[in-house]
Amino acid sequence: MNLKPSPLTEASAVLAIGILGILLTFTFSTMSIETGFAMLSNSALIFLLPAFTFWAVIGLFVRRKSKTFRLLVNIAVTAVVTIFFSSLLISAINASTVGTLVGRQQTQDVVSGMALVAFFSCTVGALITYLWLLRSAEKS
């Protein structure tokens, strides 16, 4: 494609592809569009909103670097955000006394699954964005 490289454009493209990946993954794995949208809403609130913010802000500091470097920074930010927020939620659920032990364990499994799907969807989004959607450096 031919998108002009800028931190906000890059972050938006990765976010859009990540949203699509999360929606399709949960919709086809559960065979329910309602569940797909519910899991997308949860993933977007927990993982994608903070990741988008960090992609855009950190992108300002690395915008003059190569596309490969920006791709790796984007993937690293995605990894840190998903690990941090999933660990935070899992530890909060573990410390909770609400519900049964089995229910809390199932909730921890759902959070782990959401984190994995969000990470891999955003990683695919970053690969597509930086390797195909952005203009090459000589056209900028």
How far is residue 121 from each of residues 22, 62, 74, 97, 124, measured CA to CA in Å? 6, 22, 12, 33, 5
Q: Does the residue 2 lie in any domain?
A: no
Per-residue pLDDT reduced to its tens digit, 55-105: 999 999 999 999 999 999 999 999 999 999 999 999 999 999 898 999 999
> 135 versus 136: which is more confidently predicted?
135
Task: Tell me the per-residue pLDDT of 55-66, one tens digit each, with 9 for 90 and over.
Answer: 999 999 999 999
Decide if 21 is inside a domain: yes
* 51 burial type by CB count under 10 A (0-12 exposed, 13-18 middle, 19+ buried): buried
Instruction: Identify the band that residue 1 occupies on the pLDDT scale cut at 50, 70 and 90.
Output: low
Tell me, yes or no, whether 113 lies in a domain: yes
Q: What total number of domains does the chain contain?
A: 1
What is the per-residue pLDDT for 138? 47
- Given this model, what pLDDT does residue 137 score? 58
119, 82 in Cβ contact below 8 A? yes
* Residue 52 maps to a domain: yes
* Whether the Cβ atoms of residue 48 and residue 15 lie closer than 8 Å to each other: yes
Helix and strand numbers (H, E) in the chain are 5, 0
Task: Determine, yes or no, domain membership for 1.
Answer: no
